[in-house]
Amino acid sequence: MTTPAPIDYHRHPCFNAKVKGQYGRVHLPVAPKCNIKCNYCNRKYDCVNESRPGVTSTVLSPHQALEYMEKVLEKEPRITVAGIAGPGDPFANAEETLSTMRLIRNRFPDLILCLASNGMNLAPYVEEIAAIGVSHVTVTINAVDPEISAKIYSWVRDGKMVYRGRQGAELLLARQLESVRLLKEHGVVVKVNTIVIPGVNDHHVEAVAARMKELGVDLLNCMAMFPNADTVFENLPEPSKETMASIRQKAEAYLPQMRHCTRCRADAVGLLDDDRTEEFRGCLSACAAKPIEPAAVRPYVAVATMEGVLVNQHLGEARKLQIWEEKEGAFALVEERAAPQAGGGEQRWLALSRVLADCRAVLVNGIGETPRQLLSKGGIEPVEMSGFIDRGLAAVFRGENLAALKGRRRSCSQGACAGSGGGCG
């Protein structure tokens, strides 16, 4: 198996102003839902005449996004970054976000992967995005005082519960701080966006910068609020250039400042100095019109194996899974992927479904009923078998009778397994 070349992270134009005229980014609009309501935000998906965050001309599925990525790179090879920045929040659309990132990573291993989030539901997925290879994450944090935050957000949603006022502000801030802490623990480069709102938090940005420095944040982007129609803050003025310069100068005592932000759309594409979003709009729409998930987009098969020769592990025991593909009539090992840690019940198997989103089947020596059902629902066929890996791969890739593969089933170390997610070790 060929080892991919190291990714040159200096080619991220948002985090390195020196290359903003050389390298570009593409935002993949796969995340339409949002879990907070900002008083300055109005997300008009198809507003083609506006260039600001939260706006896109269409929304893509993960597989449509992969096809769009391929077409973009054909026409604009200077793109080095694939990011997701909405039009909602990536982790209000966690399954779509993680599937997209994994598809892009597998197809384009040298691309830099980037996400932008409000941080409300980011923490549970930090380990997974780090494993995928997402190297840069932006978190929008507008205040570190809940009294101020309560003026900025109408509500925040946690699952089915909606919180307002100070209660919602405290919950959001706690989630944001935990997300940043975990990202840094996992070696992810973190930028914080702070929207400067006159009369609301413009006096508070220095405090945000100081707290973010304590957490190890790498870069701070102070962004002037843009007044949007039909929002709570529609009548507030946009901060002047002089005001923003003064705020950035004070914040720079704590963290490096980003001064070249272009307030990108959720479907932005091109160089920061040479945006081509309008030019690629037709291509984006054409990809959105394609089938959401073509039949041939799962090129791999996962295998639970101890030594890489036999299918001889129960799914619950596997700490990692081998990923195989068929190339020119032969089988090739692509990589090994870490399985989600034991514990968590059904959430473990849902996480595994995301890890194996590009796999059509998983070969195992045994599997519980819960993971069987959840993996099948996610489009991954569990195949119980014993014997050589090649035999199972041949059956799956060439459409042979899978029932013939079943041999003597090896029980997991817990005996009969119900697939509780607690692990079999």
Cα separation, 24 vs 318, whole angstroms: 39
DSSP letter for 415, please: B
Rg (CA), the chain: 23
On the question of pLDDT at 133 being above 80, the answer is: yes
Query: In the predicted model, what is the mean pLDDT of residues 108-121?
Result: 94
On the question of pLDDT at 249 being above 50, the answer is: yes
State pLDDT tens for residues 42-53: 755 444 334 456
Cα separation, 195 vs 305, whole angstroms: 49
State pLDDT tens for residues 297-328: 688 999 999 999 999 999 999 999 999 998 88
Q: Which fold has domain 300-405?
A: Nucleotidyltransferase; domain 5 (3.30.420)
Tokens 């903003």 sit on residue = 20
Q: 10 Cβ partners below 8 Å, 6+ apart?
A: 16, 19
On the question of pLDDT at 268 being above 90, the answer is: no
- Supply 367's token pair: 């599997």
What are the CA-CA distances from residue 27 to residues 11, 191, 236 (Å)? 16, 17, 29
State pLDDT tens for residues 341-391: 887 778 899 889 888 988 989 999 999 999 998 898 878 889 999 899 999
State pLDDT tens for residues 17-35: 888 888 889 999 999 889 9
**Which residue blocks in 186-310 are alpha helix, DSSP H?**
205-215, 241-251, 281-288
Query: In the predicted model, what is the mean pLDDT of residues 71-96?
Result: 91
- Supply 376's token pair: 């099948």
Q: pLDDT-based confidence at 165, cuts 50/70/90? A: very high
Cα separation, 422 vs 358, whole angstroms: 24
Q: pLDDT-based confidence at 2, cuts 50/70/90? A: very low
- Supply 407's token pair: 């041999």
State pLDDT tens for residues 322-335: 999 988 889 999 89
pLDDT-above-70 percentage for the chain: 88
Query: In the predicted model, what is the mean pLDDT of residues 191-207?
Result: 95
Average pLDDT of the chain to the nearest whole number: 86
Q: Are 299 and 274 in contact (CB under 8 A)?
A: no
Q: Give the sheet arrangement for strand 381-384, strand by strand.
A: 330-338, 320-327, 300-303, 359-364, 381-384
What are the CA-CA distances from residue 353 to residues 114, 296, 302, 317, 378 (Å)? 22, 18, 11, 16, 6
**Which CATH class, in words, describes the domain spanning 9-288?**
alpha beta
Q: pLDDT-based confidence at 57, cuts 50/70/90? A: confident
On the question of pLDDT at 205 being above 90, the answer is: yes
Residue 413: the pLDDT is 46
Task: Identify the CA nearest to 363 among candidates 400, 341, 388.
Answer: 388
Q: pLDDT-based confidence at 415, cuts 50/70/90? A: very low
Domain boundaries, the chain: 9-288, 300-405
